[in-house]
Amino acid sequence: MGVIGDTLSEARTRRAVDLEEIHAATGIRPRYLRAIEQEDWDALPEEFYARSFIRKYARYLDLDPDPLVADYRRQRGTSGAPGDAPTSPFARTTSRRAEALRRRRWRQGVYAWLAAGALVAVVVVVLVLIASGGGGTKEAGGGGSGGAAGKGAKKGHGAKGGGAGNGGKGGTAGGKTSGAGAKAVSLEIEPTAEVWACVLDAKGKPLVDGQTLAAGETMGPFKSRSYTAAFGNGSVEVRIDGKRAQTPSTPSPIGLAVTAKGKVHEIPEGERPSCE
């Protein structure tokens, strides 16, 4: 073993925990944990996911993951001292992925604020409409009172009742508008074979936090306005609002985004979530 494997194995031994306990806490399969301790990198999925496993494993053992990940990168082709600009194609790809992830999370934050602002605006408009309906009721009632004693009173009551009815319709319309603004999309995933999964909600919060799922290990249903997800391969069935979505069937990693309208489209490699 090397620095990474020795450090993790010794820390695990000191804490007297076995691989099954760590699997239950992190979702990383025991054979992957064993491969990390033995530094058998070819037994792990793509390097992008292997780094995520190392980070999660180290954090579970209360270790600083950065030196271990840096050593892993040096072993896998990144040259130079820590902090130097990456010179290998893999390191440059990693840098682009990190930058794309930062940009995506920034956009998600902006979208969340815009959505919140739009919802507030809808509520304000509804309240104004309700208030306007109440004012019209009083004016109509007053006009009825200004007429003849008998007919004017009846018209006044009729106008007032009509105003109240309009106010009720306005409130109903407002309720529908507010409900539309807060509508959530249901997402459920079910692996058809073993697959690594990372799923984030509209605010970037992990719903499936970089876990390796077994076939049939269903996750969800979740509720959010939108989602972004990455999978180690295409062996996964995705259901949106209870209906199966068309997804690629491939042995290679894939990334998916689900919009507020429940539409699914693929995410380019550099913009996929990593759950690191």
Residue 93: inside a domain, yes or no? Answer: no
Task: Look at residue 3 and tell me whether its pLDDT is greater than 70.
Answer: yes
Q: What is the DSSP string of the chain?
A: --HHHHHHHHHHHHHT--HHHHHHHH---HHHHHHHHHT-GGGSS-HHHHHHHHHHHHHHTT--HHHHHHHHHHHTT--SSTTSPP-SHHHHHHHHHHHHHHHHHHHHHHHHHHHHHHHHHHHHHHHHHHHHHHHHHHHHHHHHHTS-HHHHHHHHHHHHHHHHHHHHHHHHHHHHHHHHHT--EEEEEEESS-EEEEEE-TTS-EEEEEEEEPTT--EEEEEES-EEEEESSS-EEEEETTEEPP----SS-EEEEE-TTS-EEE--GGG-----
Residues 156, 228, single domain; the answer is no
Number of domains in the chain: 3
Are residues 115 and 74 located together in one domain of the fold? no
pLDDT for the residue numbered 99:
67
> In this predicted structure, what is the pLDDT of residue 7?
92
Q: What CATH code is carried by the domain that includes residue 30?
A: 1.10.260.40
Examine the domain organization and report whether 207 and 165 are in the same domain: no
Residues 116, 74 share a domain: no
Domain boundary among 147, 181, 215: 181
* End residue of a domain, out of 25, 54, 87: 87
Domain that holds residue 76: 3-87
Q: Are residues 251 and 207 in the same domain?
A: yes
Highest mean pLDDT among 46-50, 106-110, 116-120: 116-120
In a domain, residue 223? The reply is: yes
Establish if 103 belongs to a structural domain.
no
Res 182: pLDDT: 58
The percentage of residues in the chain with a pLDDT greater than 70, rounded to a whole number, is 72
Give the pLDDT score at 151. 45
Convert the pLDDT of each residue in 58-106 to its tens digit: 999 999 999 999 999 998 875 443 433 333 444 444 455 666 666 777 7
Residues 159 and 212 reside in one and the same domain: no
Predicted pLDDT at 111: 80
User: pLDDT (tens digit, 9 = 90+) per residue, 27-55?
Assistant: 999 999 999 999 998 888 778 788 999 99
